[in-house]
Chain A
Amino acid sequence: MKNRLKVLRAACDWSQADLAERLGVSRQTVNALETGKYDPSLPLAFKIARVFELSIEDIFDDASA
């Protein structure tokens, strides 16, 4: 699934570690999410949306579905 995490994170001027800390996950997890290697669970997707004050659809794009 495509996502805009990297762009949104850059807009906030956060490092992967900064975002990881805000989400309560490891830096590897942020990296895996950004590179599209891993799609988050629903609870983590909500957490991400809350951190950026956006809706899940504004961050993740399930165009293939």
Chain B
Amino acid sequence: MNDLSRPASRRYLIRLSIVMALYVVALFGAVAYFNADPAESWIRYVVGVAPALPAIAVFWAVGMYLHEEEDEYLRYRLARVSLIATAITLGLATAWGFLEQFGTVPHIPAYYAFVIYWASVGLAQVGLKVLGK
């Protein structure tokens, strides 16, 4: 995904840039909307979920990259990294859920799963490189 000499990588970066720009717009829009203390209505749900949609679209961009990348080893490596990151994220979320349930740790908003996922992707990439896998 990082080798910009590859067409699939370039397309991924373009998609990611667009999605991130949409995220900033949606986030600031939602914050401004809710700061104005809007009345109870279905619009609250639409505006409230708006920042999540570009975040979800990041996974779409990754999926498109996996679909378009012609190099089988790069696809294989990203698939492994994605699976490791998924396992770390779900594992941490599950462990935290139990700790929270028993009142041992404070509540964390669920959207942090997204942050943890991408941190895990970075960790998995470095880990596989260091281990020579």
Residues of A within 8 A of B (CB): 24-26, 28-29, 32-33, 35, 37-38, 40-41, 44
Contacts and interface: CB of A to CB of B under 8 A. Distances in A.
B40 interface: no
A37 B77 CA distance: 11
B132 interface: yes
A41 B72 contact: yes
A35 B77 CA distance: 15
23 contacts: A24-B70, A25-B71, A25-B72, A25-B73, A26-B3, A26-B73, A26-B74, A28-B3, A28-B73, A28-B74, A28-B77, A29-B71, A29-B73, A29-B74, A32-B73, A33-B73, A35-B132, A37-B132, A37-B133, A38-B73, A38-B76, A40-B73, A44-B72
A35 to B, nearest CB: 8
B107 interface: no
Interface string B100-128: 00000000000000000000000000000
Interface of B: 3, 6, 70-74, 76-77, 132-133
Contacts of B76: 38
Contacts of A26: 3, 6, 71, 73-74
B14 to A, nearest CB: 19
A25 B6 CA distance: 9
Contacts of A33: 73
Contacts of A35: 132
B34 to A, nearest CB: 45
| In the A-B complex, the 10 residue pairs with the closest CB atoms | A29-B73, A25-B71, A26-B71, A38-B73, A32-B73, A41-B72, A29-B71, A26-B74, A26-B3, A44-B72
